[in-house]
């Protein structure tokens, strides 16, 4: 896995871990990842896959997107198409994920560029999620129910239900993913765990 632009994710993980009084060993136990791997991530020598990043974020009681943005809570965010400063995570066999709005915002926006052609493991996280298909088709499975989406289609669902997506278009598929830790009705949701 590679990160297309430098990001503060390792420092954010270390900072949040230390604020909670956790050792690397404790974080490893909570996340199910090895302590040496977590040490490499914190020191910028390794970059976690999206699955690992979700596990780390869940163990720290936050979201992966919050780990990418650092402590900058500005009101206005602009993410230009050609901006190399937009955090982007590429995992072999998965989509390139451009984190267009991350951090302390009340919701996060992620551009998925290319999707896996086969389903990966389903995951859960707190809140509500929506997907808008920019270039389809995309299949979304939520709570065991499969929905086929075409270009221009939109779907939303509680993110605490197991969910995952794939596309027969593979690298040509594109979608916007919008996530919030709030459930429908604006209520905060309880934190879920990764599968």
Rounded to the nearest 5°, which phi and psi values hold at 99? Answer: -85, 90
27 contacts: CB under 8 Å, gap ≥ 6: 13, 17, 33, 35, 38, 56, 59, 60
Note the pLDDT tens digit of each residue in 84-122: 767 777 666 677 888 888 767 788 898 999 999 999 888
User: Distances from the Cα of 80 to the Cαs of 77, 99, 101, 102, 122, in angstroms?
Assistant: 10, 11, 11, 14, 31
3-state DSSP of 109-157: EEEEECCCCCCCCCECCCCEEEEEEEECCEEEEECCEEEEECCCCEEEE
Mean pLDDT of 30-59: 86
pLDDT, mean of residues 26-37 = 93
The DSSP symbol for 4 reads S
Could you give the residue range(s) of every CATH 1.10.260.40 domain in the chain?
Answer: 2-69
Residue 152 main-chain phi, psi, to 5 deg: 90, -10
What stretch of H or E contains 58?
helix 50-59
Q: What does the pLDDT look like over 127-167, one tens digit per residue?
A: 899 999 999 999 999 999 999 999 999 999 999 899 999 99
Domain with CATH 2.60.120.10 in the chain: 88-180
- The reply to whether the predicted model has a pTM over 0.85 is no
Q: How far is the C-alpha of 148 from the C-alpha of 138, rounded, in Å?
A: 6
CATH number of 88-180: 2.60.120.10
Q: What is the DSSP letter of 32?
A: T
What's the confidence (pLDDT) of residue 60?
86
In this model, does residue 71 exceed pLDDT 60? no
CATH level 2 (architecture), domain 2-69: Orthogonal Bundle (1.10)
């Amino acid at each position: 896995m590679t990160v297309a632009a430098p990001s503060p994710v390792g420092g954010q993980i270390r900072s949040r871990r230390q604020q909670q009084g956790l050792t690397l060993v404790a974080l490893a136990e909570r996340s199910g990842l090895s302590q040496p791997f977590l040490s490499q991530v914190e020191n910028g020598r390794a970059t976690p896959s999206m699955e690992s990043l979700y596990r780390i974020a869940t163990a720290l009681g936050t979201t992966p997107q919050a780990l990418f943005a650092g402590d900058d809570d500005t009101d206005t965010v602009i993410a230009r198409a050609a901006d190399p400063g937009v955090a982007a995570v590429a995992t072999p066999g998965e989509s390139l994920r451009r984190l267009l709005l991350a951090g302390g915002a009340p919701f996060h926006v992620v551009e998925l560029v290319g999707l896996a052609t086969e389903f990966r493991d389903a995951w859960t996280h707190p809140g509500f999620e929506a997907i808008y298909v920019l270039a389809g088709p995309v299949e979304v499975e939520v709570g065991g129910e499969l929905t086929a989406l075409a270009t221009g289609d939109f779907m939303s669902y509680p993110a605490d239900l197991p969910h995952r997506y794939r596309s027969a278009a593979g690298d040509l598929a594109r979608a916007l993913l919008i996530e919030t830790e709030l459930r429908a009705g604006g209520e905060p949701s309880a934190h879920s765990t990764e599968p």
